[in-house]
Amino acid sequence: MIYDMKPWAWVKHVIFHPTEGFEDMRWKKAGSLKIAFFIVFLLFASQVFSSRYGGFAFNPRGYSDVFNIVPILVQSVAYYATWVVANWSLCTLFDGEGNMRRVAIYSAYALVPFIIGNFLSTAISYFLTLDESIWYTAIYQIGLWWSVILMIFGMKACHQYNFTVTIVTMIFTVVGMLIILILLALIMSLFQQVYVFFATIYTEILYRVRS
């Protein structure tokens, strides 16, 4: 096997060699942050695609006039970002060897099967009836679980853990994500109130000045 590959070839290598791929990548210090961010963008795009398109019988919601992009943005980009931050913060404490750059790259590479499954299942739903929805579900689920397995081995290689510790840290990472998101929501509502306070003062002063 030749391990002097171009950046995109590494993505392919990692996906099709779940157990060894990430170790190889770590050994060769390969993996590109640019590609990682592009993959995250693709994740966002696939979420938008699957919520706006698809066969009518499978996704009637996609054909309504109302479309809000914010939840999808949160479900892709924000989840990814919090995952990276939470995983890095936690694994630094747990003697993990990965730095944040690596966590970002490895997690993004692991997402590729999910993205492909998402695109494919949405595309295939144009040709399926509801009775055959098992194909739709199968493609989606295969992509999802493939990504989960990649994610486990990716984090394992990234931090040089054994299997159990990887699973435990991943579970705690999810908890950490929740905490981060709750704190973010709190801060946002707080800032909103501060903003409202100053806005009220502003309007109040305006009234005084005018009268």
Q: Which stretch binds another protein (CB under 8 A): 29-37, 99-107, 127-135, 186-194?
A: 127-135
The CB-of-72 to another protein minimum distance in angstroms stands at 17
The CB-of-43 to another protein minimum distance in angstroms stands at 21
Residue 160 φ/ψ region, left for φ over 0, alpha for ψ in the -120 to 50 degree band, beta for the rest? left
Position among 27, 33, 38, 57 found at the interface with another protein (CB under 8 A): 57
Position among 55, 98, 143, 176 found at the interface with another protein (CB under 8 A): 55
DSSP state letter for 85: H
Which residue bears the tokens 């963008």? 41
Distance CA 122, CA 108 (A): 21
Is residue 141 at the binding interface for another protein, with CB under 8 A as the rule? no
Q: Measured between alpha carbons, how far is residue 102 from residues 23, 88, 119, 157 in Å? A: 12, 9, 26, 10
Nearer to another protein, 41 or 172 (CB): 41
Nearer to another protein, 135 or 198 (CB): 135
Nearer to another protein, 60 or 71 (CB): 60
Is residue 63 at the binding interface for another protein, with CB under 8 A as the rule? yes
Binding residues for another protein, rule CB under 8 A, total 10
**CB within 8 Å of 124: residues ≥ 6 apart:** 135, 136, 139
Q: Which candidate, 125, 133, 129, 132, places its Cα nearest to that of 54?
A: 125
Is residue 64 at the binding interface for another protein, with CB under 8 A as the rule? yes
Distance CA 11, CA 160 (A): 20
Position among 19, 28, 33, 60 found at the interface with another protein (CB under 8 A): 60
> Could you tell me how many residues make up the chain?
211
Is residue 129 at the binding interface for another protein, with CB under 8 A as the rule? yes
Contact track, another protein, 65-104, x by CB under 8 A: ----------------------------------------
* Residues 49/119, Cβ–Cβ less than 8 Å: yes
Q: Kindly tell me the burial class for residue 201, based on how many C-beta atoms sit within 10 Å of its own C-beta (0-12, 13-18, 19 or more).
A: exposed
Is residue 130 at the binding interface for another protein, with CB under 8 A as the rule? yes
**Which residue ranges make up the site for another protein (CB under 8 A)?**
55-57, 60, 63-64, 127, 129-131
